[in-house]
Structure 1
Amino acid sequence: MKKFVFILLSFCFLFSCHQFQNRSIGLVYVVNVDEAQKSDFYSMFDSVAYISLETIDDNEIGQIDRILYYNEKYIITDRLTNRVFIFNDDGKFYSAIDAIGNGPGEYVQITDVAVDKFEDMIKIQDAMQGKIVSYDLDGHFIKETKFPIFPAPMQFCQVNKDKYAFDYQRCSKEKEWQYNLSINSEDFSGKISKYLPYDKSLDVCFSPRVTLQDVNGEILYIPLYSSTVYTIDSSDVKPRYIFDFGNKWVSQEFIDTKWKDALEFRNKLNDVNFVYYFNLLESGSHICAEFMYKENKYHMVIDKETDHLFLQQETEAYKCHYTENPMCCIGNQFVIPLTPFEYNSMIGEDAVQLPDDNNPVLMFATFKKF
């Protein structure tokens, strides 16, 4: 597939926070939402590149939910078709996993996906059936593992050859499992280490898109309703970053409220004076985060080398050209899926346009140093 590259030359930024180091809690960034820059977010891009995902019959992607990169392959989950697609790193289709059902080797719903780097397996987590189903990179079923607990974890990530981190997202009513995170074997045999306890389970909640991620071999964790990002190893969980939004961060009283349904909760979020939908990814060189505040979307980029922060508020004049947030990092690049329409709009009419029924395009964005 052709790869198109262009450089965005304009550059503007605002240092709208200050940071300090506390050895016990990690690096703290104080974020002042009221000082967000109303300017073009794309001015922060150093370069972008595109790879179009090959479109072939019976393997059309509906809407990308998760992207992983492993062994020169993109592993993509589709929330609409409930399938996993594997593409080579040139965008050529390689294989797919389509095993929807209730039987062995099948799943009802993909709640998360991970890669076993030691055994070259793709692992699909099905929280509805309470199991992990493992496949090879060609999409062939290998094995499945049942969870011995209920409710099942919602997201997971491999920590080392023998252990995984499991995120429960405050859903358990059993005191024994009222912890946000556990680190243990896939089948929960042997030692189980539990972290970040809570007192009340939640009936309605919305989490960051990716709560567990691998950044160059380091596992990062963002708990539900947390502005603290943790680093995980096989034996400990330590604060990595804290983003201090002051009184604009969601209160404990609001978190513990018993909501009647998800619609009521979502409507209330638009009325309160809180930051919400905080989502973060980290590349080798930058931290990129998005959040909502008073129905406005904000983008935050931190240069890890200098600790300088750029904060931008979306307005009608400076609205993002794409709907999805970054979903994956490869080295210093943030991977953002684009619809064919979004891609065509970004490259301009003079470039080769894609048909509307083409599979999505992956955009690879790197940020400037500042």
Structure 2
Amino acid sequence: MKLNILFFILLLLSCNRKNEELSSVGRIINIGIQNLHSLNMIEVYDSVNYVPLELTEKSLLSNIDKLYKSDSCYIILDCKQMNIFVYNLDGSFRCIVGKKGTGKDEYTYWNDIYYSQEERRIYAHERFQNRIYVYDTNGNLILKTKKSKYQFNSFVKTSLGFFVYSCFKKPYNMDGYNLMLLDEELQELKKSYFPQEEFVNAVVSSTFFTSNGNEYFYYPSSNIVYKLGNEVTPYCKFDFGKRTMPYEEIIRLKYIETYEQILSGHGYLGDIRYCLANENWVSFQFSDTDFNRPVKNYYCMYNLKNGNVYVDTAPFVSFDMYPIHRCLKFLDNEIGIYLLPPYILEKESLKMLSEQLNVQLTEDSNPILVICYLKKYKHEI
């Protein structure tokens, strides 16, 4: 009897340890690429709508690096042109946000943007002035912060202040914190997380996303996504099995030569980017991680409800009548937004789409937003 009680106690302790391990990294997403399992778009979406973005002398897009949808418009960051474009929901051009130049209240280089649904404000970080400008969706300047002494690549606005992704050590971040919480004027460092050496890989693309009213952070030297708040807590962890990069070892490295040796020739998978999520899905990209050789990109969708993982290497997928790029640009609980670049279409398909949308399209037209409605929401198109 005593042995049975002892065994039961040990079993409970063991289960508790496992639960603690799981909670310390959040949900574990196991990803295998041995047998690629492509996502059937029909399993996720039940209808589609195409929104051609108006092309004018002022609204020619080079790239769509970040996209937000509000209740009245689309907000687009084009990093190649360093412009923020606003389009109405029907795709008609509304305005360019801010005035490019070196004068008062003008900008040179937009580093990242964030749209606050609650405030209906566009926050834009100017790299060289190192301050954040705030606009309404008609492009009117509302306010701007003071110049910050903390350099950073991307950011998100919360009720606590600005969370920023840094990785620049000198002169005010000598511990190399990847994540810092600054006050609303970008002057005071309130909290800091995840220190590392400066030579470890960094990115200029955004490392934050919003889902269901919460803000999340991920960065190149980790395979964990963190939920932001009074505490920074793990939300999920991407596990590639034996091909997972040795992240815990990497963040402790002191020399770049050791870093290169660890990565070279091992065929690791990592470099998580373009991460988005809603109540049912996590969407992201990852790639082979190595030195001195080309890397392969993978597009992944993970079903939070049943644990199914869908991975593919082909950048385009067929849905409805036309191909779309697999990389999701926007995701909430109602829709996912993809891109259809007109130049990938055959002449006949381009003609059919022009007639369908009653818009004259050419291969040089702006990208078309493909609005895909998730199955749980019925929409009349």
The TM-score normalised by the length of structure 2 is: 0.76
Amino acid at match of 1:121: R
Amino acid at match of 1:223: Y
The C-alpha deviation readout for 1:176-228, integer Å capped at 9, x for no partner, is: 553221223221356712222x2412375336x43111112011111223210
Measure the CA separation in 1 of the matches of 2:51 and 2:234.
35
Classify 1:72/1:307 alpha carbon distance in 2 versus 1 (closer, same or farther; 3 Å): farther
Measure the CA separation in 2 of the matches of 1:297 and 1:368.
28
Given candidates 207, 212, 224, the residue that maps to 2:220 is 224
| Match in the other structure for 1:166 | 164
- 5 Å matches for 1:35-184? 35-37=35-37, 42=41, 45-47=44-46, 48-150=48-150, 152-160=151-159, 163-168=161-166, 170-173=167-170, 174=172, 178-184=176-182
How many residue pairs align between the two structures? 335
**Contact 1:281/1:329, CA 8 A, preserved across alignment:** yes
Partner of 2:86: helix, strand, or coil?
strand
Amino acid at match of 2:91: G
The C-alpha deviation readout for 1:287-327, integer Å capped at 9, x for no partner, is: 11222237333222122222222233439999x95557212
Q: What percentage of aligned pairs have identical amino acids? A: 20
**Contact 2:317/2:326, CA 8 A, preserved across alignment:** no
| Match in the other structure for 2:15 | none
| Match in the other structure for 2:341 | 339
Amino acid at match of 1:74: Y
- Greater shift after overlay, 286-295 or 342-351? 342-351
Measure the CA separation in 2 of the matches of 1:282 and 1:317.
20
| Match in the other structure for 1:31 | 31
Measure the CA separation in 1 of the matches of 2:43 and 2:347.
19
- 5 Å matches for 1:278-293? 278-279=272-273, 280-293=275-288
- Greater shift after overlay, 42-51 or 304-313? 42-51
Partner of 2:124: helix, strand, or coil?
strand
The C-alpha deviation readout for 1:131-184, integer Å capped at 9, x for no partner, is: 11222222122322234324x111111222x5221111x222455553221223
- Greater shift after overlay, 104-113 or 331-340? 331-340
Partner of 2:143: helix, strand, or coil?
strand
Classify 1:324/1:187 alpha carbon distance in 2 versus 1 (closer, same or farther; 3 Å): farther
Classify 1:282/1:341 alpha carbon distance in 2 versus 1 (closer, same or farther; 3 Å): same
- 5 Å matches for 1:209-358? 209-233=205-229, 235-252=230-247, 258=256, 272-279=266-273, 280-293=275-288, 295-314=295-314, 321-322=323-324, 325-342=327-344, 350-352=352-354, 354-358=361-365
Work out whether 1:359 is the aligned partner of 2:366. yes
**Contact 2:114/2:122, CA 8 A, preserved across alignment:** yes
Partner of 1:192: helix, strand, or coil?
strand
What's the offset of the Cα at 1:71?
A: 3.3
Q: Which has the higher helix share?
A: 2
Partner of 2:365: helix, strand, or coil?
coil
The C-alpha deviation readout for 1:47-85, integer Å capped at 9, x for no partner, is: 433211122232211211111122321101112321111
Measure the CA separation in 1 of the matches of 2:39 and 2:173.
48
Gaps of 5+ in 1: 1-19, 260-264
Measure the CA separation in 1 of the matches of 2:90 and 2:77.
18
Classify 1:315/1:219 alpha carbon distance in 2 versus 1 (closer, same or farther; 3 Å): closer
| Match in the other structure for 1:10 | none
Measure the CA separation in 1 of the matches of 2:63 and 2:131.
24
What's the offset of the Cα at 1:332?
A: 3.6
Measure the CA separation in 1 of the matches of 2:306 and 2:200.
41
Amino acid at match of 2:99: A
**Contact 1:125/1:133, CA 8 A, preserved across alignment:** yes
Measure the CA separation in 2 of the matches of 1:29 and 1:203.
24
Measure the CA separation in 2 of the matches of 1:145 and 1:346.
51
Classify 1:247/1:164 alpha carbon distance in 2 versus 1 (closer, same or farther; 3 Å): same
Partner of 2:305: helix, strand, or coil?
coil
**Contact 1:286/1:332, CA 8 A, preserved across alignment:** no
What's the offset of the Cα at 1:346?
A: 11
Measure the CA separation in 2 of the matches of 1:53 and 1:251.
43
What's the offset of the Cα at 1:343?
A: 5.9
Partner of 2:65: helix, strand, or coil?
strand
Classify 1:41/1:314 alpha carbon distance in 2 versus 1 (closer, same or farther; 3 Å): farther
Partner of 2:343: helix, strand, or coil?
helix
Partner of 1:247: helix, strand, or coil?
helix
The TM-score normalised by the length of structure 1 is: 0.78
Measure the CA separation in 1 of the matches of 2:193 and 2:43.
37
